[in-house]
Amino acid sequence: MCSYQIEARIETERLILRPPRISDAERIAELIADYDIVKMLARAPWPYTVQDARAFVSRVGDLDPAFDRPLTIEHREHGVIGSTGFHTTAESLFPEVGYWIARDHWGQGYATEATTAALGWARDVWGKRAVASGHFADNAASARVLDKAGFLYTGDVVARESLARGALAATRMMIWLA
């Protein structure tokens, strides 16, 4: 069996990262119904509804696991608190990682913990040697997460669409090397 066919289940001391399930949709929609979260994401619409969450989770089974790996971030005590995962883009030679954490759980290191664990899985199980990411220039918190996870700036700033903002946003590109 090829490593990319293995279902991703990543565990840390506080978190479990796993593929999203349809039963997660209502919780995901509840947590991400916060413009301050969604405006920092490229592909999430605003307002974000339960139907959007169900559509997202339903598409997971259609994705090619060699290229795309969405993951739900589940806290061992609090349940689902966010999402992370890898996706492909036409702009990058490498998979890109993205993430979001519910507002009630900001500032506790969960995004860094989840991202670092996901990168370790990508290297050790999925066989990736490089992962890209980017953060909107006005998202200092995400810059800190990526820095702590070992990403380096490429020097590129690109205009990326933010569905929630309905506009392009300056995006500082970064790379992680295994």
pLDDT at 3: 39
The pLDDT of residue 114: 98
Q: What is the pLDDT of residues 112-153, one digit of tens each?
A: 999 999 999 999 999 999 999 999 999 999 999 999 999 999
The span from the CA of 29 to the CA of 26, in Å, is 5
State which residues of the chain have pLDDT below 50.
1-4
Distance CA 144, CA 150 (A): 10
CA distances from 158 to 15, 130, 171 (A): 32, 19, 5
In Å, what is the CA distance from 111 to each residue of 49, 62, 63, 107, 144? 23, 26, 23, 9, 10
The CATH H-level superfamily of 3-177 is Gcn5-related N-acetyltransferase (GNAT) (3.40.630.30)
Q: Residue 160 in contact with residue 134, Cβ under 8 Å?
A: yes
For residue 50, give both structure tokens: 């339960």
> What does the pLDDT read at residue 6?
62
